[in-house]
């Protein structure tokens, strides 16, 4: 009898040990690193898309081109807000509206109450825009080259508008003002609790 009881208790102990081990394993599987939690939250609750108001405008065509053709070359964020600085537009021909400008894309990721810039850049040049029904689309983009060809190509593309272009392109203060204005509008429009945006290595910029 004693031996049988001992065997029974040993079997029970083994079963209880197995159950406890199983429970321990289950607890370990629900421990999720902080960065993984953020990814899940961002996937379930993405930032609303930035929308350009006014399809009946050649700027809409440029906006779409920057989003669809230029931005894919950058690290993807949760939000992209292009910045369009028009130097001059010639809309005399609706099949070839010429728009010289300093064009930018900025990609952001939300961290708390701050939009963190994760990628972006400048793409100045001449956009050829065509009116299609009541909307517009870019048919060709003459882009200023990088590196040593930057100045020669900019002078060729902008011609007598080169000085005006350089003034706009080099005015960081005005670009920041317009950028802040665009982000502020987006935040208000979507009733978000965002208070700042921040470029890598720089202090956050207050939106309000």
- With a cut of 80, say whether residue 110 has pLDDT above it: yes
- Residue 82 within any structural domain of the chain: yes
What are the Cα distances from residue 130, in Å, to 2, 24, 52, 56, 82?
95, 64, 18, 12, 20
Same-domain status, 27 and 61:
no
Same-domain status, 69 and 108:
yes
Same-domain status, 190 and 125:
yes
Q: Using 50, 70 and 90 to split pLDDT, how confident is the model at 19?
A: very low
205 three-class SS: strand
Same-domain status, 27 and 51:
no
- Residue 37 within any structural domain of the chain: no
| Rounded mean pLDDT, 23-35 | 36
Same-domain status, 121 and 152:
yes
Q: Using 50, 70 and 90 to split pLDDT, how confident is the model at 48?
A: very high
Those residues whose C-beta lies under 8 Å from the C-beta of residue 108, and which sit 6 or more positions away, are 47, 77, 78, 79, 80, 81, 115, 116, 117, 118, 197
Q: What is the pLDDT of residue 81?
A: 97
- Residue 112 within any structural domain of the chain: yes
Q: What is the spatial distance between Cα 167 and Cα 174, in angstroms, rounded to a whole number? A: 10
Q: What is the pLDDT of residue 124?
A: 98
Q: What is the pLDDT of residue 137?
A: 95
- Residue 71 within any structural domain of the chain: yes
Same-domain status, 179 and 144:
yes
- Residue 42 within any structural domain of the chain: no
In the chain the beta strands, taken as DSSP E runs, fall at: 79-80, 83-90, 97-111, 114-122, 125-132, 135-143, 196-198, 205-206
Could you tell me the residue range of the domain that residue 27 belongs to? 2-31
Same-domain status, 74 and 177:
yes
Q: What is the pLDDT of residue 145?
A: 97
Same-domain status, 146 and 104:
yes
- Residue 41 within any structural domain of the chain: no
Work out how many domains the chain is built from and give that number: 2
Same-domain status, 157 and 100:
yes
| Rounded mean pLDDT, 144-155 | 97
- Residue 189 within any structural domain of the chain: yes
pLDDT 10s digits, 32-47:
333 333 333 344 446 9
- Residue 40 within any structural domain of the chain: no
């Amino acid at each position: 009898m004693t031996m049988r009881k001992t065997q029974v208790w040993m079997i029970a102990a083994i079963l209880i040990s197995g159950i406890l081990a199983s429970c321990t394993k289950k607890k370990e599987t629900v421990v999720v690193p902080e960065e993984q939690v953020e990814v899940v939250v961002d996937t379930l609750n993405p930032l609303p898309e930035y929308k350009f108001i006014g399809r009946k405008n050649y700027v809409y065509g440029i906006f779409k081109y920057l989003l669809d053709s230029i931005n894919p070359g950058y690290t993807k964020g949760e939000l992209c807000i292009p910045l369009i600085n028009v130097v001059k537009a010639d809309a005399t021909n609706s099949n070839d509206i010429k728009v010289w400008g300093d064009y930018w894309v900025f990609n952001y990721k939300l961290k708390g109450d701050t939009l963190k810039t994760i990628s972006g850049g400048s793409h100045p040049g001449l956009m050829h825009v065509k009116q299609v029904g009541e909307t517009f689309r870019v048919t060709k983009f003459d882009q200023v080259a990088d590196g040593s060809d930057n100045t020669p190509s900019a002078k060729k593309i902008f011609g007598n508008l080169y000085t005006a272009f350089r003034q706009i392109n080099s005015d960081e203060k005005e670009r920041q003002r317009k950028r802040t204005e665009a982000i502020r509008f987006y935040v208000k429009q979507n009733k978000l609790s965002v208070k700042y945006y921040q470029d890598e290595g720089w202090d956050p910029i207050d939106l309000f």
